[in-house]
Structure formats: structure tokens, C-alpha cells
Structure 1
């Protein structure tokens, strides 16, 4: 059995794993980035592409704000713009009760620097005449936006490689243990990897890696369902969300409107396909939000597989059982925007032992009986 030696083994080459590899390689560490499939083709490459801070819980705001800074440097980091646009994120309300919830949220994050703007019904209809007349109010975060995950996630892996990372695709880790000095990990194709550190960024499959080190996490699979229309005249100048969930949408430069908000049907663990029932529900919601595109042709539906935690917060930081092991998973369908800062945090923890971003709420052991959080 061939043995590969490296400073850091990263399991999972999505946006968080690739970001971690990039920042570690920039600091001179030897990094091996492994993925069971191809880099950036799971949830990191097939998600909606929203790059928003609005709507995130207060505990995630420091991470989201740092990521916002890094997104502003995207071209410098990965060599392309990734179709990243800061067009604003508009969250709309259809009822007075949802308006109250939106305003309560805005008050709770007032000190975070989001520059949220409250719009009443008249202002919404004046600025966005293509939206439903049933909307009673909205909150605008003007510097949020969207990007193309099919470009950004693979480009991060490329940038990491340019900085010295070694990428191994179709390399599934079947076992890993810590011998007191090094991690000994084995792959499905009979290779052994010896490393000083292991980073678990395996997405929906990260619970299996954590279990190898005695860290049981109540991680469940979710299957966000999305669709895309034919190219349409440009009408949307903002990313849309609805208070209470159920629908989100954005329009790209080519005119296609990308939308989502329902759940696909799970065929078997790790896989999903569009559900006829949820497709019909999603199309009805979209037509209700943007009446002018009710007759537009939808050219494709798809889904991805993401790992979700009970509190919808990620597991980010050091292992509770094993020195040198770090986790970054469980983003519950909202990891694309914070992926860059998550990778930076993990790299800082490995290289220096600390990070300026508070991550106490993201401890992996918070779900255990003795954590005090059950």
C-alpha cells in the first residue's frame, strides 16, 4: 500500500474545503485535498448561488461579514469574477405578520453593518413594478448579491492548486484514525495518507468522517430543488427571497431566471431527483411572485444533497475528541456565502491556533447530552 505524507489532509473539495486548502497553501503548508467525486460538483457547485447576509442568524454575522469582504476580493483570489454581482437582496413580505417578523429581524441585526433598508408597499411597487401587487413590504440589503457556483467552486480548487495544494479527485476516504502523532487515513483505492492534521469538509457525508473519531452528529440530508427558465428580457435587478421561505429567485446576465425553494425527492441516501408535486408548487409560487413570467418556459430542474443540523448552524472548528482534527460542515443549505470565511477560519486555527471570528456557537459537541445546549 502506497503511503502519501502531507501536513494537512482535507476531506471534501467543495467551497469550504477548497477555501481551506487555498489559505493553508498560501501559508506554506503542504496540503492534500481529496474528494470522493470531482471538486465543486456536489452542493457547492449546484446550489442557488445566493451570496447574502440578510436573513442569517446573529451568531453567523461575524462569519458572514468577513466572507463579504473576501467575496469583494474574489477576482484576486481565484482569477475570475465568478459572475459575482452585488445587486442587492430583497426579502418580501405578503402579510402584516411577516412584516412584523422582518422588522424584528432587522432590529436584531441593526449593529451588524448590513445597511438594511425598509420599503413599504408603495416603495416596493415603485422600485420593482414587476413584482406581485400583493406584497405589503420588504427589506433590502443593497450589498448582497449572487454568483455562479458552477464557476466559483471549481475555480477555488484551481487557485488552491496554483498555490501548492495537491488535489486528488475520485479519492474516497474509507477510514481515518489518530495514533497520537499523526493521522493515518486510507482510501478506497488502497492508498494510505499520513498527515499532521485532518479537516472534515465532506458536506452531507461529513457525519461519517466525524463518526470515525467518536463524534456523533445529528446530521440529516436535505435536497433543495431548483429550476431555470429560458432566457427572458432583463427585469430583475435584485435577488429575491420571501419571508418565511418557500421561494427565492435571481436573474443572470443571459436572461435566465434561476429559482428554488422546495424539496426534491430522495431516491436513495446521497441522491435526489425533482419531485412532480414540488415542481408544481414551486412554479405556482414563482408565478405569484413575478406575474409577468407565468408563461415562461422552464428548461431544467435539478437538486443537490446538503447536510443539515437541528439548529441550522454549521459545525465549524476543532474536534472535541481528537487534537489536530477540524470540522467545517452542516451549513444546512446556506454555506455558499460563508464558505470563503469558513475556509479562512479553519486555516487560521491550524496555522496559528486561533481565529478572530467567534465560533463558539458552532462547536461540534453542542448536540451531546453534556454540552448544556440540549
Structure 2
């Protein structure tokens, strides 16, 4: 085996898929079910607006991948380029928004500034208190429930082994690779990829790599027309 991937969220399943596409022999180990951790609890935003400027080249590339995800994975993961809006409620926020828009333009991100009238015309469901908005028309969202299983299935079709419900016992470096003992057997590979999300710091610490990682949950409300 060439690579063991620890963690079956979006990062792990996508890594397994792209590694398998390049001919690597991959085993992905997930302690629960694929996509059942932080991935499924995310907002699902596929956005570039608001990113640190240095992240924008990667965000542009990510958006292009999401736009072709259905063709690449063979199923609809509900990516929709419906746009991303950020509402502004005070003059300080407006100055920050304009400064960011100006700084992001050389990085390839064009943002629209909307007036209160334009906000109400284009998004009548929003409240009337915003004094302006920043709108990125090509950003959007995907379905976080669908994306990790889709990548896992695509990886499996390419020859990757997907092991779910496997609690990790011990992980050790053998000198020539890694040996991972789990509740579903032991697995060995030359390389170990740590994509365990909120639990990733514990794995890294076993190899002397301290990662300052905190688990925090954002507030989210999911709505639909009633």
C-alpha cells in the first residue's frame, strides 16, 4: 500500500480519490461513516469573498473543481452558483468592504457593491437595515451531506479501499512506513495522510508535531419556503 488516509471527511475522501486517479494504492480509514463529522456540519459555502487574499488562488481553483464536480464524480452534489452576499450595517463595515474589494481585484475577484435599493430589489426576503452589500455572483454552495460519500465512491471505483467503522488503536512509524492498528485489522503503507479534522492534532502529536487546534461549532439556521 502506498498511502493510508486517516479520516473520511471531504479532505480525506477527496485526497483518496485524487491519489487513486494518479495511480497510488490507497486505503482510507474512517472511525464512523464517511462524511459524518465536520463535513456534514459545515455551511456548504463555496465562496471566495471574505477569504484572506493569499487564499484566493486556491479558492479560484476550488470553485472550478466544484463547477465540474458532477461530471467528475458521476453524481449531482448540488453545487449551485447562486452567488454569495455579505450585508453591511454600519459605515465602518462599509469602509472595510470597499478596502477588501479593492485589494481583491488584482487577485482576480470582482465584487459588486449593492445599494439598499438594489438589495431589496434583488433579495426581497432580506430585512431593510443593511446600508450596503458585497455580492460575488459566481460563488455558491454545495450539499455537505453528499460530497464526501461521492468522493469516497469515486475513489473506490478507482481501486481505493474505504474502511468505515474502524476505531484507531495504535499508529507507529516502522522506519520504512507506517502501521495502523484498528478495530478492523492492521494496515501498512509507505505514507500516512492525516485528515482527521478536529481529531487530527492528537494524531500529529504522536509524531512530535504539535498543532494548535480547537474545535468550534458555528451557528447556523437552515430554512426553506413555507
Change (3 A) 1:26 1:152: same
2:220 aligned with 1:226, yes or no? yes
2:157 aligned with 1:162, yes or no? yes
Equivalence map 1:154-193=2 (5 Å)? 154-187=149-182, 189=183, 191-193=185-187
Q: Is the 8 A contact 1:175 1:212 kept in 2?
A: no
**Structure 2 residue matching 1:175: 3-state secondary structure:** strand
Q: Is the 8 A contact 1:82 1:152 kept in 2?
A: yes
Matched with 1:343 is: none
TM-score scaled by length of structure 2: 0.95
Matched with 1:101 is: 96
Q: Which runs of 5+ in 2 are unaligned?
A: none
Whole-angstrom distance in 2 between the partners of 1:42 and 1:190: 20
Q: Is the 8 A contact 1:185 1:194 kept in 2?
A: yes
How many correspondences in the alignment? 226
Q: Is the 8 A contact 1:18 1:160 kept in 2?
A: yes
Whole-angstrom distance in 1 between the partners of 2:39 and 2:117: 37
2:194 aligned with 1:200, yes or no? yes
Equivalence map 1:227-266=2 (5 Å)? 227-229=221-223, 231-232=224-225
**Structure 1 residue matching 2:60: 3-state secondary structure:** helix
Q: Which runs of 5+ in 1 are unaligned?
A: 1-5, 234-374
TM-score scaled by length of structure 1: 0.58
Whole-angstrom distance in 1 between the partners of 2:184 and 2:128: 61
Residue 102 of structure 1: CA displacement?
0.9
- Higher relative contact order, chain-length normalized (CA < 8 Å, sep 6+): 2
2:120 aligned with 1:122, yes or no? no
Q: Is the 8 A contact 2:104 2:110 kept in 1?
A: no
The answer to which structure has the higher strand fraction is 1
Matched with 2:57 is: 62
